[in-house]
Structure 1
Amino acid sequence: MSSYASDVKKELTSLKIHPEHAKAELAAFLRMNGVLNIHDHQFSLDIVTENPAIARRIFSLIKIAFKVEPLLIVSRKMKLKKNNQYLVRLQQNVREILANLEIWTSQDGFLTRIPQRIMTSKEGAMSYLRGAFLAGGSVNNPETSRYHLEIYSTYEDHDRDLLEIMNQTFFLNAKTTKRRRGYIVYLKEAEKIGDFLHIVGALNAMLAFEDLRIMRDMRNSVNRLVNCDTANLKKTANAAAKQVEDIKIIAKRSGIENLPEKLQGLAHLRLDNPELSLKELAQQVPDGPISKSGVNHRFAKIHEIAENLRK
């Protein structure tokens, strides 16, 4: 995960938990990352993360929403990175909590859809998106790579519900696609990514995103202008070289003095000033100033004469 994405998640985990909306955020965590265990007819629920701030937030959400204190277990991973792993384990009132959050019922089993009460509540939807991003989201650094924010879902109908919240409630123009092991809902437009960060409460990250985006866009604009200027200079130089070539053919074959007076003046001016643009020549011709198209017209005549001489 990019350091920018880490900064976004760090800010989100530091937000004050609102008791009324804690359940919506918690529902996203449990639905997306929760593992239900059954042993001797006893239920327990585990959520594992390598991010200590996310583990603390899940712990606080459970405690605030249901007045239950889960276990927080820290262990060292045995794989190559050997990072700490944080396990939040809920052992009390598991069935009641899952039923209250509309994640599991004894009749229907596991429910993958987002509850309608969250879908139809703006505050609930904002809290659910925050939890979903913390549970399975990432965002690229706007300074160094393409604009991209995504949230991963294991279940297709959950992915569709996230898409509906993002587009119907918040008009984010999100898209969705299938991945090998699940689905992602994603944003590609810089402005909409900024809007999403604002919606979930990452205001500092949103402002940093806008600053980085503006700097990047300015840098791209400068590069485009420089490239455009370089191309124009090259075009001007190539055109001037061809005009000088035509004039030299005329000088060699028939003499510049035999040209009409207006063409003579332009021919001498061009030979003496091969670096001048058409606009600059138009200001300096002996019978001028004339228009740029007038200079163009005269060079067309010179080219026509030179072509006839070449033939």
Structure 2
Amino acid sequence: MSFALTVKEEIISHTFDDELGKSFLAGFIKYNGDFIWSSGSEKLKLSSISNKIARSIFWLCKKNFDGYIEISVSQTQTLKQNKTYQITLVGRILNFLKSLNIWDENNMKIIEFKPLKEQKNKEELTKLKRAYMAGVFVAVGSVNSPQTTNYHLELQFKEEDSGNYIAQLMNKYDFDFKVLKRNDKLFICYIKKAIMVSDFLKFIDAYQGVMNFENERIMRDVYNNVNRVNNIDISNEKKTLSAGLKQIDQISKIQANLAKKRLSDKATYLCELRIQNPNASYAELTELMNENGYDITKSGVSNLFKIIEKLSLEFKS
């Protein structure tokens, strides 16, 4: 099961009170419903590839719709052979849509959900909008698995106005939804930042989804940071070894030309330490020098190696 479907099934598993249930249905029906009205017969078809979602939508409809409801199952002939569960409402569909505040009687079409502000306080309105957006996401939403590095949550619409409406609605809550045209038939309302994806899942009450998303993201970030540190360490070790081998070569030239006596006692002892410890860092060499009675700092070790290098340049390879 995909992460997006897991999130949707978590959302639909919540218990909605009467008002929130209607708001959820409004969001789901607006973008999933197929309204059919011919010869005085009213039908509304809803569908889902999830049995759990279909059953929950059925019970929400049964609670709010006083007509006939039937469920049917069809199976595609693809390799995956996915089942599609279809819920058909027959009867007084217009009254049902009016009760959800998504029916425009003048233009005879399903419209965006607009709760009656004069009857609700700000907190109640926010709860209704959260339930509505939960329905919208279950209907047309998708979110990438947190195991991927590409954070992406989107809502797909057939009309640009719908994408703009949802973006405007959500951006009032400090989201950063953008709308783009994917092809001639789809308009995508999307966010990409990890924190935005996480906050949106919280907004629609998918808290288990948030936990899974954040856990995966944190684990991947830790893994990436460990790899980054390891790569830095390996790079530093390679640089240290390369510098050590170069210095040993310089020391060898000095010894071959019997010029070691031109170095100070400290420099001479440092030459011995370098030969014995080709991959030791300057800090480690400094510590070894001090342990053996030579008072010196790391910058002092660096200066001695510059003197050794300068002396070695006097001799041919």
- Would the TM-score normalized by the shorter structure come out above 0.5? yes
Q: Which amino acid aligns with 2:160?
A: E
Alignment of 1:176-255 (within 5 A): 176-180=179-183, 181-255=185-259
Q: Any runs of at least 4 consecutive aligned residues in structure 1 with deviations exceeding 6 A, and if so which?
A: none
Q: Quote the offset at 1:281 in angstroms.
A: 0.4
Q: Quote the offset at 1:279 in angstroms.
A: 0.3
1:304 maps onto 2:310 in alignment: yes
Candidates 129, 132, 135, aligned match of 2:133: 129
CA contact (8 A) 1:262 1:287 kept: no
Moved more, 196-205 or 108-117: 108-117
- Partner residue of 2:260? 256
In structure 2, relative to structure 1, the CA distance for the partners of 1:306 and 1:116 (3 Å cut) is farther
Secondary structure, aligned partner of 2:136:
helix
Between the aligned residues of both structures, percent identity stands at 33
Q: Quote the offset at 1:19 in angstroms.
A: 0.7
Deviations, residues 178-200 of structure 1 (Å, cap 9, x unaligned): 21231222233333322222221
Q: Distance in 2 between matches of 1:51 and 1:268?
A: 74
Alignment of 1:14-163 (within 5 A): 14-110=13-109, 113-115=112-114, 117=116, 121-163=125-167
In structure 2, relative to structure 1, the CA distance for the partners of 1:186 and 1:109 (3 Å cut) is same
Moved more, 300-309 or 83-92: 300-309
CA contact (8 A) 2:102 2:111 kept: yes
Q: Quote the offset at 1:265 in angstroms.
A: 2.0
In structure 2, relative to structure 1, the CA distance for the partners of 1:109 and 1:308 (3 Å cut) is farther
Secondary structure, aligned partner of 1:297:
helix
Q: Quote the offset at 1:218 in angstroms.
A: 1.8
CA contact (8 A) 1:112 1:157 kept: no
Deviations, residues 59-79 of structure 1 (Å, cap 9, x unaligned): 222233344452222233345
- Partner residue of 1:290? 296
Q: Quote the offset at 1:99 in angstroms.
A: 3.6
In structure 2, relative to structure 1, the CA distance for the partners of 1:287 and 1:194 (3 Å cut) is same
Q: Distance in 1 between matches of 2:79 and 2:284?
A: 68
In structure 2, relative to structure 1, the CA distance for the partners of 1:269 and 1:177 (3 Å cut) is same
Deviations, residues 15-48 of structure 1 (Å, cap 9, x unaligned): 1122111222111111111112122132211112
Q: Distance in 1 between matches of 2:221 and 2:278?
A: 36
Candidates 163, 168, 177, aligned match of 1:164: 168
Q: Quote the offset at 1:112 in angstroms.
A: 5.0
Q: Distance in 2 between matches of 1:229 and 1:19?
A: 60
Q: Which amino acid aligns with 1:24?
A: S
- Partner residue of 2:9? 10
Secondary structure, aligned partner of 1:46:
strand
CA contact (8 A) 2:41 2:91 kept: no
CA contact (8 A) 1:150 1:185 kept: yes
CA RMSD, 1 decimal: 2.5
CA contact (8 A) 2:237 2:279 kept: no
Moved more, 178-187 or 127-136: 178-187
CA contact (8 A) 1:44 1:89 kept: yes
What TM-score do the two structures reach when normalised by structure 2?
0.87
CA contact (8 A) 1:112 1:158 kept: no
Q: Which amino acid aligns with 1:5?
A: A
Structure 1 unaligned spans of 5+: none
Deviations, residues 143-187 of structure 1 (Å, cap 9, x unaligned): 344322222222222212222333222x23334332123122223
